[in-house]
Structure 1
Amino acid sequence: MGKLPGLSRITKKITCKIASKNRRHFGHLIESKFSFIIKEINCQKNIDMEVVSFSSNNDYNEQLLSILSFLRYIGKPIKWTIYSDGSHTEMQKKQIRNDTDFVTIKSIKWEEILSLKELCNVDLQPYHNYILDYAKKHAFGKRLFYYLNHSIDCPTLFIDSDILFYEKANLFDILLSEEPKVNGWYMPDIEWGCLDSRYKAIYSQQTYQVNAGLMLVFKKFDHYKKSLDFYKVLNGKYEYFSEQTIINILLKDNYFMPLSAKIFILDNKDQFDFSHLYNPKQIAIRHYTGPVRHKMWQKDYRWHLSL
């Protein structure tokens, strides 16, 4: 039986208000209690993995909850690098320094950058002008620069700040230890189509499409050229999914494998419901993209962390 007309919209409005209240509460709490929550989690496990994320002042709450969920369900990584879009406050940077010993916020003063050539690794240097133009014009262009130039010295997990980890995230132990290793893993998108229109005009539908929100990289990429050449196709005109398209080409060209969509969740089917479609005990992660961002905060942070 379907819902009454208009009920879905009303439900989402109510849940968004609940989420907004819970998010504000968490924001106030972490100003002075972030280190106490870390102690309450009492993480006793180290994991041989680095984590990299890209975030801003606006999603600082989501970023901290993501870190807490990683500690709760996976362990303490070798290090966690947050690449900032430049908007993080000094107070936020100080809190990260004081309350953690494994997280670092890094950023570039983009307004002062005239060339990226010396900051790009050797494979990217021929494209440095294209990379700079995209980075100057769009936050995703900045993220792409940071991710492509990040040194892969150990297994490295690149994630969006709106990803939370849950009980089955211990599967990362298996991914890290299994032999023979693949080059890496990625989260498949919900469906085909969230790509730059110029790419879709050339290529037909594929079975799996990369979502740029999560990728586990085991070693330096062997093949860059095909993905970087797409910068030239963009010709200075960027769409919302231009960056995801470049990452899609890069991971496919380096033979990355898709993770199971049954436990690595990217879905919006419950955006109009009071209930949560996915049980935290039965999934590894959930990517709370825009349509379901309110679902991240509809429940108190303790629900996510099983505290």
Structure 2
Amino acid sequence: MVNIGYHSARIQGQALRSLYKAVLGKWVNSSIQQTQTIPVNVYSLSCERDLPEQVVSIQSFIRYIGVPNTFTVISDGSYTDASCELLCRIHPCVKVVPLEKLLRPDLPKCVTHYAQLHSMGKKLSALMSIPVNGATIYTDSDILFFPGGIDLLNLVNPNDRYNYYLPDCSNSLDKRIIYEDSEKLNPINAGFILLKQELDWSFAIERLAYLKEPPGYFTEQTVVHLTLHRNHSKPLCTKRYVLNVEDQFIYPDKFASKEIALRHYVRDVRHKFWLNAGL
């Protein structure tokens, strides 16, 4: 039996994305009415393929949370000059930096090797290179922010020195670098991280260095998972910071509302991103 709701949502999402992509330049030129500022530096790694999602994600952050000190888009190297210029037109706080200019020169060899093999290795190298000078956010480009994101104003409080992470809805870990069953508990998604202090990556990087087979898609997230737990980071509230795919096979978005702070539209529910993009 054909799931009409699921396929309708996918078709609508694809159509809305195509429409948005066609008018991207005009949409970016529309001003965002926001005067509230938030003392945080935001980073997002993305590519030319994800330009529409990246634009909408930035706009939703500024509209519902506030204007950050900077919103830095880290280009994986595929962004064209025209796309970089378009991103910078979103708001004066937005800038684009090539990944190679951000990277720390002292990254471990196993990380630079991973970056040469896989796009998720590039993400790991970016995460390890992001400077943490005060409250710092990393966000994937497929995250939409909602009015409940005003909660972040409290979380970036300088008196709170904890790092925060987005809990995952499944155990998407590379079990080759998980040595004990207890290390699988409380899985972390690497799509959204709020940092207050530099991370000590050495524990997880040592395991990556010992990995005999090539690292894969979930290796990066596992390194982040191990590192954030090792650094005593705190989970964000899953009712407000949403990563959930329970509504994958139905038409509506069960979780989008004015009360939530964000939703990470991972691959299984990516089409629902566009049902809430405000077109």
What is the Cα deviation at residue 295 of structure 1? Answer: 0.6
- The equivalent residue for 2:227 is 250
What is the Cα deviation at residue 199 of structure 1? Answer: 2.8
User: RMSD of the alignment, in Å?
Assistant: 1.9
Matched, 1:46 2:37: yes
Where 2:172 maps in the other structure, the secondary structure is coil
- The equivalent residue for 2:150 is 170
Q: Distance in 2 between matches of 1:78 and 1:143?
A: 22
What is the Cα deviation at residue 208 of structure 1? Answer: 1.2
What is the Cα deviation at residue 163 of structure 1? Answer: 0.5
Matched, 1:186 2:186: no
Structure-2-length-normalised TM-score:
0.93
Letter in 2 for 1:13: H
Q: Distance in 1 between matches of 2:100 and 2:63?
A: 34
Structure-1-length-normalised TM-score:
0.85
Aligned equivalent of 2:20, options 26, 29, 38? 26
Seen in structure 2, the aligned counterparts of structure 1 residues 108 and 205 have a Cα distance that, compared at 3 Å, is closer
Matched, 1:210 2:204: no
CA distances 1:262-302 after superposition (whole Å, capped 9, x unpaired): 11100111111112202421211000000000111134x32
What is the Cα deviation at residue 178 of structure 1? Answer: 7.0
Q: Distance in 1 between matches of 2:166 and 2:201?
A: 20
Matched, 1:120 2:137: no
User: Is residue 130–residue 236 contact of structure 1 (8 Å, CA) maintained in 2?
Assistant: no
Seen in structure 2, the aligned counterparts of structure 1 residues 99 and 171 have a Cα distance that, compared at 3 Å, is closer
- Rg larger in structure: 1
Letter in 2 for 1:84: S
User: Is residue 256–residue 263 contact of structure 2 (8 Å, CA) maintained in 1?
Assistant: no
CA distances 1:69-89 after superposition (whole Å, capped 9, x unpaired): 101110010001111111111
User: Is residue 187–residue 213 contact of structure 1 (8 Å, CA) maintained in 2?
Assistant: yes
Q: Distance in 1 between matches of 2:82 and 2:158?
A: 41
Seen in structure 2, the aligned counterparts of structure 1 residues 28 and 232 have a Cα distance that, compared at 3 Å, is same
- The equivalent residue for 2:218 is 241
Q: Distance in 2 between matches of 1:142 and 1:101?
A: 26
Matched, 1:195 2:173: yes
Where 1:19 maps in the other structure, the secondary structure is helix
User: Is residue 174–residue 219 contact of structure 2 (8 Å, CA) maintained in 1?
Assistant: yes
Letter in 2 for 1:281: K
Seen in structure 2, the aligned counterparts of structure 1 residues 207 and 196 have a Cα distance that, compared at 3 Å, is closer
What is the Cα deviation at residue 49 of structure 1? Answer: 0.4
Aligned equivalent of 1:283, options 260, 265, 269? 260
CA distances 1:57-116 after superposition (whole Å, capped 9, x unpaired): 111111111001101110010001111111111110121234431112222469xxxxx8
CA distances 1:19-75 after superposition (whole Å, capped 9, x unpaired): 111011111222233121xx1x30111110010111111111111110011011100
Structure 1 runs of 4+ off > 4 angstroms? Answer: none
- The equivalent residue for 1:3 is none
CA distances 1:173-216 after superposition (whole Å, capped 9, x unpaired): 1112274x14210001113x211021345333644111101110
Aligned equivalent of 1:294, options 249, 257, 271? 271
Seen in structure 2, the aligned counterparts of structure 1 residues 246 and 289 have a Cα distance that, compared at 3 Å, is same
Structure 1 gap ranges (5+): 1-5, 111-115
Identical residues among aligned pairs (%): 28
Matched, 1:263 2:240: yes
